[in-house]
A and B are shown apart, each in its own frame.
Chain A
């Protein structure tokens, strides 16, 4: 429906109209398609069209960072694309790219940094060894204490990750600090 392929949409809706739970929704859209094949007045279809790429970028697979960046280039207010892009950077420990996008969080209504974002930002700040602007966001004293404690425990084992594992897991296994040290995403660059 979003792509304007009325014929295909009609067949999928026709199949849905024969199901128990989606029949009324499908019949409603079938009627809408008959009245307005372009669905120009449908808010959801309009929303999806505003988010869709206009330009063709053929790929052999789905390069996540590239596709998400293109989606944001098309529509900078695409919240889902932005959050997936940030998640991609965090999963891949690309903290430089993450920090460079931190200011954009305000565009999406983030009043404060989510905990894992803040933890990732602190890792970047502590690694850089100098002050880094976090788009006006303040880090909490609790998290600063935690990263210092985390670093102290790790140093106590001579930075031996394997030896420090149990101690760190006891209090920090649900933190991005722990993920950053121990996780192996398998697809990092």
Chain B
């Protein structure tokens, strides 16, 4: 009994220490969140996110604004760090190792999130560029082209992010290669076999249109 009381007496200060660290950590994480949110609002981070198409992406996934998302992410990562720090103070066997591996994992988590963020922005930008070029050139199915560009980039980016995290990196690379290959093969088959009539019609229409245009002299209209 005395031993239990003694060990509890030894444990209690450390537990209190842990509680203080966790509460203090929550406070620091909360202040960090508020500060970051204010800085991002002042620097109009949401506008940047809107320009690059990230806002639309988040809205589509029913997620809050990018400012809110980044602030919350920083809050949880910071508080998580303090919680683990607090737990390590308890001196439980094996915990230190997990805490160390968590802090070692953080840079890779940040890197993969950055890859994911910029990759998604790139996907949005290039798919929109493909859509606009397709529409202005009068290509058939510009939305399909745009979707294909977006999907390719997202697949590539997700596989890169997983590789950075080291989570099933080989599986992801193989999955990406398979999906990419299947997509290409599918497109080749679609255009080569399934779409041969469509391709013929398109080419006929295109050349016929060029002939019509030269006949109708539309090209002689100078916009400038």
Do A and B come together as binding partners?
Answer: no
> Which of A's residues lie within 8 Å of B, judged by CB?
none
